[in-house]
Structure 1
Amino acid sequence: MTIQPARLSDPAVRAFVGAVNAHDRDAFLALLTPDATMSDDGTDRDLTDWIDREIFSSHGHMEVDRESDGGRSLVANYSNDTWGEMRTAWRFTVGEDGRIARFETGQA
């Protein structure tokens, strides 16, 4: 059963999923700390290059199945025009300012 983005527990993660699904790059970047980092399948990636390729130019979309760790860990069906749909895990580190300092994703 899919969790509606508006019902996700963590405000930063809720906004992250909303920005991905709305294809709103500016809103997405506003959620991140200036020095935010990310990894994909355990390998650190260039954040700007990755989000442009995997989310924004390829119409990424998240359907969240489950959340844990206060809403900072998700299991979601992620789809984009490049890879189709895949089951993914997402983990978020949220700073004291409420912005995302790091996210990690990979196959679930």
Structure 2
Amino acid sequence: MTIQTAKLSDPAVRAFVTAVNAHDREAFMQLLAPGATMADDGSDRDLADWIDREIFTSHGHMEVDREARDGRSLVARYRNDTWGEMRTKWDFIIEDDGRISRFETGQA
């Protein structure tokens, strides 16, 4: 059962999913803390390169199936034009100012 994006618990994570699904790169970038980092399947990646390739140029889309850790951990069906659809996990570190300093994703 999919959780509606508007009902996700953490405001930063909710905004992250909204920006991904709207293909709004500017809104996405505003959510990130300076020096934000990310990992995919356990390996650190270049953030700008990864988001362009895996989200924005490939029309990424998330449908969240469940959340944990007060909304800072998600299991979602993620799809893009490159890889199709896969079950993924997403974990977020949110700073005191509400911006995302790190996210990690990978197959669930």
Normalised to the residue count of structure 1, the TM-score between the two structures is: 1.00
Paired residue for 2:84? 84
RMSD: 0.2
Q: How does 1:26-45 map to 2 (within 5 A)?
A: 26-45=26-45
| Deviation of the 1:60 alpha carbon | 0.0
Cα distance in structure 2, aligned partners of 1:50 and 1:76:
18
Paired residue for 1:67? 67
Q: How does 1:1-108 map to 2 (within 5 A)?
A: 1-108=1-108
Amino acid at match of 1:93: I
Aligned sequence identity (%)? 78
Cα distance in structure 1, aligned partners of 2:29 and 2:96:
17
SS of corresponding position for 2:49 = helix
SS of corresponding position for 1:9 = coil
> When the two structures are aligned, how many residues end up with a matched partner?
108
| Deviation of the 1:11 alpha carbon | 0.1
| Deviation of the 1:34 alpha carbon | 1.2
SS of corresponding position for 1:2 = coil
Normalised to the residue count of structure 2, the TM-score between the two structures is: 1.00
